[in-house]
Amino acid sequence: MNTHKIFDTPLLGLGFRVFFALAGSSALILIVLWNAIFKGTLSAENYFSSSYWHAHEMLLGYSVAVIAGFLLTAVKNWTGKPTLTGDKLAGLALLWLYGRILPFYAGLLPDAFIALIDFAFLPVLAYQISKPIIQSRHFKSLVFIGLLLLLTLGNALIHAQMLGLCQNTAWIGIQLVVAIIIIMILVIAGRVFPFFTERGLHGTLIIKNPLLDALSIGSALAVFALQLSAVSGMFLALTAIFAVAVNSARLAGWYVQRIWYVPLLWILYTGYAWIILGFILTALSAYSWVLPSLALHAFTLGGIGVLTLGMMARVSLGHTGRALRVSNAMAVGFVLINVAALLRVLLPLALPNWYNLIIYGSTLSWLAAFSLFMFVYAPILTSARSDGQEG
């Protein structure tokens, strides 16, 4: 039997293909399941408690799949060295998939085995992308190895509580994972926002500001470090306000008014704006003026959700040799993901008595956005490059 032919498929030609397909599918399946669990219409045995399962899967399932697809593709570009393809890429994807499925086998499989399978994915990913980085001596990209290992630590803290090894570590782990994903986004933004803007708007030149880049990332680190240390009040509020100021200045330095004519650009800028709003809400929550969950969802549904959808759309087109122009259907999807964030983050402030209806509307908007993504991009991710090149 020629196993090579089994894995010789465009879906396994480069990391972004299979992991973006898995991310898009999981964004639909996980939210449908969570909505049923939240409403009480579905009760299933699970290794995680329901609220921790939702947080874990959206962060260490969906979000990590996008990160894996992006890094396996970007590292190849940055280093000029190959990353996983074919059977090895299929193996890594299956490891991620088993991590999503096995928690539902609690009681049938040992909890330690379920934890091990899920835990293993991030270290294996970090090892696989570290090889081309070290071989090419592209040492500035080692920052992503460090961030992946910190994500691994966050995941370990969650599993430690689920396994009964520690108490009250799962929420710390979730906070750490959110913080690291946001920091990773801010690091990547400095690399791709100016480049994408110049490519998308002919005649545009973006001047980078290394000081603002450092302050934006540093201030975000400070905010999340204070939260992890359970510091609130004036100190957290002032640090968050500083993060708002420097990140706003950074984004303004890249901003060109013409981005609003290019969906592939405005989706990224609005995603960054949700992160800035997250810092604003963090400052307000430091004095208990708003619920901390609103800031959390500004970072997650808004920042992570909007930006990952935009990045998947942009990267998938660029690395399959297609024109960097989204369809009208996908542009509608970009609007819908922002509507989902708006409903989940801001509308509860104005209409708290309508909370359940608002959450339902946010859920439908999220599902519609990712349904459009899968409808438009599944054929792109599963077919060969239009220019005949590899990848």
Q: What amino acid occupies position 309?
A: L
Residue 295: Cβ within 10 Å count: 25
Split at pLDDT 50, 70, 90, the class of 355 is: confident
Name which residue leads in pLDDT, 42 or 217. 217
Q: What average pLDDT does range 106-113 have in this prediction?
A: 94
At 83 the three-state DSSP class reads coil
What distance in Å separates the CA atoms of residue 125 and residue 104, rounded to the nearest whole number? Answer: 24
Per-residue pLDDT, 43: 77
Q: Report angle CA 77, 83, 87 to the nearest 5 degrees.
A: 145
Q: Confidence band (pLDDT; 50, 70, 90) for 44?
A: confident
Average pLDDT, the chain: 94
User: Of 44 and 356, which is predicted with more confidence?
Assistant: 356
Using the predicted structure, report yes or no on whether residue 344 has a pLDDT greater than 70.
yes
Judged by average pLDDT, the poorest of 4-8, 152-156, 244-248, 330-334 is 4-8
What are the tens digits of pLDDT across the range 115-141?
A: 999 999 999 999 999 999 999 999 999
Taking the C-alpha atoms of residue 305 and residue 27, their distance in angstroms, rounded to an integer, is 9
Within a 10 A sphere around the Cβ of 44, how many other Cβ atoms? 12
At 251, the pLDDT band (50, 70, 90 cuts) reads very high
264-285 confidence digits (pLDDT tens): 999 999 999 999 999 999 999 9
Q: Is 1 exposed, middle or buried (0-12, 13-18, 19+ CB in 10 A)?
A: exposed
User: What distance in Å separates the CA atoms of residue 367 and residue 29, rounded to the nearest whole number?
Assistant: 9
Helix pair 111-135, 142-162: axis angle to 10 deg: 170
Backbone phi, then psi, for 106, in 5-degree steps? Answer: -60, 135
Hunting for tokens 């090895």 — which residue is that?
88
Structure tokens at 181: 């994903």
In three-state secondary structure terms, 106 is strand
Half-sphere exposure of 145 (CA within 13 A, CB side): 16
| pLDDT tens digits, 210-243 | 999 999 999 999 999 999 999 999 999 999 999 9
What pLDDT is attached to residue 5? 66
pLDDT score at 1: 45
Measured between alpha carbons, how far is 391 from 380 in angstroms, rounded to an integer? 12
> How many CA atoms does the CB half-sphere of 24 hold within 13 Å?
28
Higher pLDDT, 203 or 175: 175
CA 95 to chain centre: 18
CB 227 within 8 A of CB 175: yes
Q: For 142-200, what is each residue's pLDDT tens digit?
A: 999 999 999 999 999 999 999 999 999 999 999 999 999 999 999 999 999 999 999 99
**Calpha distance 20→376 (Å, rounded):** 12
* Helices 210-228 and 170-200, axial angle in degrees (round to 10): 160
The pTM assigned to this predicted structure is 0.95
